[in-house]
Chains A and B, each alone.
Chain A
Amino acid sequence: MLNEGYLKQESFYEDFVNNKLNGNAKYFSEEAYYIDDLKPFPIYIPLSSNIKEEQQNQYLEAFNTFSECYLKLDRELLFSQRFWHSLFLLEFREYLVDLYPEILVSKSKFNNIVLKQLNWENYIYKIILGSQYINECVEEQQRDHYYKLIVHNMDMYNYVIKTRILRNDMFLKNVLDIIDNNNLSKTLKAFIKDRPDLGKDPRYGRMVIFEFNKSYPVVLSPMMDYRSLEEKFIEYLKIYWKGQL
């Protein structure tokens, strides 16, 4: 494992590019973990507004690989940036450089793809929570269906995991079901016109999440059963959406 101060070392990026990190004592700590059968997966999958099949497949690959190899690991490790950096920059260096060759030429691309903070904006974080949640709440045969729901409703997924109160497995699953059962995917993504009071880029889905956030803990949304939550979801949506549902 890389030691605590590795990011502060000035030569870190250069040494990475020149493949000089391995075996270089100044980057290493005493800590080591021996874990069998780890496989790499895509760690940077930004989606364009027209989701291409290749992007969906990358997500499916990431979710499935993570579920196969990493689900059993302690969260203490999974939510440690140092762990992921140690893994991808050392063990999986070749994979990383193959998939994202731009990181060898541009330090800012390297920073954006590899060194992103481990929070909701980070793709590894998205994969960790998505895999854990779907594996916890959904039977094996159905999991790919839910992974696809996440990919096709990424904005909603982001807003759920971004909101501390709503970052929960059953809540996410229920929301995905509500969207799926009521065909709300397109509606929730739509831009809300003529509402400058709602901020820069208001979308119907984002406002529903906002309402759930506001009404907690009076309305205990993460603990509600599907039917009750669905009722509330539609109620909140109708505050903003004036068309047919």
Chain B
Amino acid sequence: MIFKKEVNFPYPVLSQYTTDYPDSSFELDVNVFDLGKSYKFTIDYRLNSSFISSLLSIKKASIVAIFESIDSSYYQCCDELIIPKNRISLSKKTQIQLFIKTNSRISLANNNELDKFYDAHLSKVFIDKDRVLAISNVVRFDGDLKHPFKLFEKEYDKTMETDISVELTSEMIRLKYRNKDFVFPQNKRYNPLNNSYFYLGLQKALIRFLVTYRDEDDDSVNILNIDDPSDGLDLKLYNLMKIKGVETYNLESVDKVIHSISDRIVEKQIITMRGFIENEG
């Protein structure tokens, strides 16, 4: 439903593909946040056309947001749209555009924003209901937001004093094991059982982040207020939290942050263990 072609419309349309409204504009900007089970899109538009704005205010026109990826959905436009992940996938190209459409038949007689070409015809031009009046630019998302960061690495060290340790390096969360047996065998069914160690690693990294970047007299950190961290691992965590919409946390809410940024790691572990026990019975 996205429209990007240069065509001749049978009446004036405001868009970057037409010259009908020489001084007016309709621009769109969109940001997306990963909320775990859904995406949140913030819709920010600028309509520079008093004729069309007035039609909107008296409800003779309305703005529709069109999302096209595998198929097309349209929504009554508002500041924010939350779409569940079973209805939209961002891993294929996704395009968003706004249309302004007529809700009833309208006259262009009072439209003084049009190209002079239309002057002679204005009183005779009517546009029917359910027709497009304005088309914004397209905002596009390519590829996925999922996990562009590799956070973990594993190491075996026979000389360790403890069975397991979690180290934070300048780029990674390093899980060290004294014995290869502590990491479950390569059979793919068992791998997620490593997740409790992942959980420990993330906890340690997030607590260190909290201690490093928190406000002075506060026991919490505000992601939106800090500058880009210079440490590699901290930067990964920072970006991951921004994308997932985490704004602030403290010691008590570290678990919630882990849940938001790690695609339900602990959930997967529980499901696997159940599967295990049932099969052995």
Contact = CB atoms under 8 A, between A and B. Distances in A.
A79 B94 CA distance: 14
B268 interface: yes
B86 A73 contact: yes
Interface string A191-235: 000000000000000000000000011111011100010000000
A168 interface: yes
B99 interface: yes
The 8 A-B residue pairs with the shortest CB-CB distance in the complex, in nearest-first order: A75-B89, A167-B71, A76-B89, A74-B85, A217-B132, A34-B271, A76-B91, A224-B130
Given A34-B272, A76-B144, A223 B74 contact: yes
Given A75-B88, A78-B86, A168-B72, 19 more contacts: A28-B188, A30-B188, A34-B192, A75-B70, A75-B85, A75-B87, A79-B89, A132-B87, A136-B87, A164-B68, A168-B74, A217-B135, A218-B132, A219-B130, A219-B131, A220-B64, A220-B132, A222-B74, A223-B74
Contacts of B71: 129, 161, 167-168
Nearest to A171: B72
B268 A218 contact: no
Given A28-B188, A79-B70, A220 B99 contact: yes
A223 B101 contact: yes
Interface of A: 28, 30, 32, 34, 36, 71-76, 78-79, 129, 132, 136, 161, 164-165, 167-169, 216-220, 222-224, 228
Contacts of B192: 32, 34
A228 B130 contact: yes
B1 interface: yes
A56 to B, nearest CB: 25
Given A76-B91, A165-B1, A30 B191 contact: yes
B189 interface: yes
A30 B147 CA distance: 14
Contacts of B87: 75, 132, 136
| Chain B interface helix/strand/loop/mixed | loop
B73 A36 contact: no
Interface of B: 1, 3, 9-10, 64, 68, 70-74, 85-92, 99, 101, 129-132, 135, 144, 188-189, 191-192, 268, 271-272, 275
A165 B188 CA distance: 41
A25 to B, nearest CB: 8
B183 to A, nearest CB: 14
Contacts of A165: 1, 72
Nearest to B88: A75
Contacts, number: 84
B230 to A, nearest CB: 31
B130 A223 contact: yes
Contacts of A132: 86-87
Given A76-B85, A228-B130, A218 B64 contact: no
Contacts of B99: 217, 220, 223
B101 to A, nearest CB: 5
A129 B130 CA distance: 25
A89 to B, nearest CB: 15
Contacts of B272: 34
Nearest to A224: B130
A27 to B, nearest CB: 11
B131 A168 contact: no
A32 B9 contact: no
Contacts of A75: 70, 85-89
A136 B71 CA distance: 14
Contacts of B144: 76
Contacts of A217: 1, 3, 99, 132, 135
A160 to B, nearest CB: 10
Contacts of A30: 188, 191
Contact of A32 (B90, B91, B129, B191): B191
Contacts of A74: 85-86, 89
Nearest to A29: B188
A233 to B, nearest CB: 13
